Homo-oligomer: A and B are copies of this chain.
């Protein structure tokens, strides 16, 4: 048989191509053929690694979650040891905002998946777990109701940033303003 291949590596390559297509042309442009072409492969390859399209979509969603997780971890590490709760929370929240092209792309994919999840319960479940994990973590360093509010606020800011309704300065101002009201003015 041909050179043995790491399946998850190939699957990740395909998912990356999917995300490029979704970010540039919307989730509705995500078809087996477009994704395959973007990945420089054939539909047969995609079919080999994902029996069905839904399976591929679900995997891609998990890849996006992974990206966010990695970025948040990196942001935490960049803060040094035992940071102030406010700084930590701010660093994490900022990673959820689409402030650069990379995060905008992820954000667009995430948004597309939100709409996708509206009719796919299993997709919705993946998203729910992601945000609940985040809220639980926030709740360990700030009062519970504030964690809930902050998460929703960040999500709303992300939405308005994506549509260019809010500027980066406006969004960061809103975030810092809310953190002020929770932790007190610095």
From A60-68, A72-80, A108-116, the one touching the partner chain is A108-116
Which residues of chain A from 20 to 49 have a CB within 8 Å of any chain B CB?
Answer: 25-29
Q: If A114-B159, A116-B26, A159-B114 touch, does A166 touch B152 (CB 8 Å cutoff)?
A: yes
A118–B149 CB distance below 8 A? no
A164–B114 CB distance below 8 A? no
- The interface residues of chain B lying within 8 Å CB-to-CB of A152 are 153, 156-157, 159-160, 166, 171, 174
Number of copies: 2
- The interface residues of chain B lying within 8 Å CB-to-CB of A178 are 149
Taking the complex as formed, is A99 at the interface, i.e. its CB lies under 8 A from any CB of chain B?
Answer: no
Q: Give Cα A149–Cα B173 distance, bound, in whole angstroms.
A: 9
A114–B116 CB distance below 8 A? no
23 pairs of residues in contact across A and B, judged by CB atoms under 8 Å? A26-B118, A28-B28, A28-B119, A111-B114, A112-B118, A124-B163, A127-B163, A127-B165, A128-B163, A128-B164, A132-B165, A145-B173, A146-B177, A149-B153, A152-B159, A152-B160, A152-B166, A152-B174, A155-B156, A155-B159, A156-B157, A159-B159, A181-B181
When A and B form their complex, which 6 residue pairs have the shortest distance between CB atoms, in order from nearest? A152-B156, A156-B156, A155-B156, A26-B119, A115-B115, A149-B174
